[in-house]
Structure 1
Amino acid sequence: MTSTLPPYHAAFLDKARGILSTDLRIHTLLAGGSMIHGGMDELSDLDLVVVVEEDSYTEVLASRMEMARRLGPLLSAFTGEHVGEPRLLICLYGPELLHIDLKFVTMSDLDRLVERPIVLWSRDKVAVEARLDRAEISWPNLDPDWFEARAWIWLHYGAARALRGELFEAISMLAFFRDQVLGPMLHRRAGRPQRGVRRVEAYRLDETGQLAATVARHDFGSVKASLVAAIELYLKLRADEPPRSEMKGMPQALFDFLRHEVDNTARL
């Protein structure tokens, strides 16, 4: 398994297996992310799932920072509430830098998954593999109505901030829009799981440069052009799988709104 990994990643996993296997509270160590999707290289993170015995879960969760320190030279770590996953401990090891995600779960959590992990070590690998075989595995792809309900509100927000002269905020919204809407829809067009803008370049999802055109400089004209490019790309991607109903008046109302630039940007 680890022979196909970059040496530093392989060494970390070997050490983690050795340490966790001596802790009777730990049942299984799983891996997801690049180790199952492919593309693992020396710049990749390691996405690890630590399966904890049910009666020890509260104890392990309370001491997970100490457990992370035992696995290697931990520089910093924090929990994943910002991504809606408080079970996650996001770690940076060093001085040779390595990002590790440690998610702590119980066996019952393996019944519903977004991807099938691989088993790196287990006290009962046969039972774990059987449970994974029975699991409901579904990537959380979003439907066309989800995109349509949000796209125009987010684009209007970016346009309003640009017209007010808050260019950094408008640029931030464009980045957010790429990650939440355009990237997932490009993955959808390619028949891939929706993963924001992850690996857009590797999978050549923007060979026409339409997504790149939504990246703005700190300049009103550039921000406006990027907003227009975002609108146009969204319309093209929306046509692949149209929503049940399209927002009334769009995109014309947003194009009209952007024409306010003469009055509202005179102070820039």
Structure 2
Amino acid sequence: MQSVLQPFQSFIDNAINICRHDPEAVGLAAGGSWASGEIDQYSDLDLVLVTTRQIAPDTSQMQNYALTFGSLLASFRGDHVGEPRLLIALYESPLLHVDIKFLTPAEFYQRVENPIVLWERDQLLTTIIQQSTAQYPAFDYQWTEDRFWIWMHYAALKIGCGEFFEAIDFLAFVRNTVLGPLLHLKNARLPRGVRRAETSFTMEDVERLRKTVATPDREALLLSITEAMHLYEELRNDLAPSVIEKNRKAQLAVTTYLATIHQSAVSFHQ
């Protein structure tokens, strides 16, 4: 295990040394798999850099700071995940994927997890962690129900008109946004997409999720979308609070529509 951690530790040691010599840096922490103890040779490194100076969301300032941590090959800001304070970076020697979130002390109070403090001045990060609570965004069952059947109808349209690759991509979105998080919740974990599904879910759950993955073929996609709808319905019924308003009318309409597409496909092959 020590040999697995060595490249990460070397990078961290250098980053700590840089921070120590920056009077505006007040703390460096690591989250993700480093904090959970699940890190392996295929992991990325999730760092949180806390400074008195506001660095993010200025991409140039973020990249300039990241350059001091090592030999930076490429980097971009995390706008695609709704986090402009995040810099996603690729370093060489060794080749490491490192996510660096640039925060001020005030911003560190709002966080989704409690990271491991790697270095700090005057116990600042430790004090903030003790004074506040990390909160991962809760899964919104009503938000999901309000969208799910529209999404399924859209996927059915793509299958119906023969846009199979588009349908495959859309089902991947549904797995990451809906099915994966619900299965994580079923297994008493945080609703983090399909992260570590292979090791976090039961064998039965993995097999159910596997059935929602299709090849670019009409019949395979029809089976996958049907399985996705059944799996969602079961998980919703088991996990959602009783106050959720289930749109059974939309569910029935989409289920009926999908059956007509399936029948059209059968008639075509006959």
Identify whether the pair has TM-score above 0.5, normalized to the shorter chain: yes
Q: Are 2:131 and 1:134 aligned?
A: yes
Quick one: which of 175, 195, 199 aligns to 2:196? Answer: 199
Aligned to 1:108: 106
Paired AA for residue 74 in structure 1: L
Query: 1:121 and 1:147 mapped to 2: Cα distance?
Result: 40
State the alpha-carbon separation in 1 of the partners of residues 155 and 56 from structure 2.
45
Distance 2:98 2:56 in 1: 21
Please give the secondary structure, in 1, of the residue aligned with 2:171.
Answer: helix
CA–CA distance in 2 between the matches of 1:60 and 1:88? 8
Taking the TM superposition and a 5 Å limit, the aligned residue runs for 1:1-268 are 6-53=5-52, 56-58=53-55, 61=58, 62-94=60-92, 96-125=94-123, 127-208=124-205, 209-242=207-240, 244-261=244-261
Residue identity matched to 2:98? I
- Kept after mapping to 1: 8 A contact 2:50/2:105: yes
Percent identity between the two aligned chains: 39
How far the C-alpha of 1:5 sits from its partner, in A, is 5.7
- Give structure 1 regions of 4+ aligned residues with deviation exceeding 3 angstroms: 2-5, 58-62, 262-267
CA distance in 1, matches of 2:237, 2:218: 29
**Structure with a larger share of its residues in helix:** 2
Contact 1:186/1:205 (8 A) holds in 2: no
Question: 1:159: how far off?
Answer: 0.9
* 2:257 partner letter: F
Deviation at residue 97 of structure 1 after TM alignment:
2.2
Number of aligned positions between the proteins: 263
- CA RMSD across the alignment: 2.2
- 1:5-43: CA deviations, max 9, x gaps? 621111111111111211112111011111122311011
TM-superposition CA deviations, 1:95-144 (whole Å, max 9, x none):
5321100010000012221111111011222x321211111321112132
Q: Which structure 1 segments of 5+ residues have no match?
A: none
Letter in 2 for 1:94: E
State the 1:187 CA deviation. Answer: 0.7
Amino acid at match of 1:201: E
Q: Equivalent residue of 2:86, what SS?
A: strand
Return the TM-score normalized by structure 1: 0.91
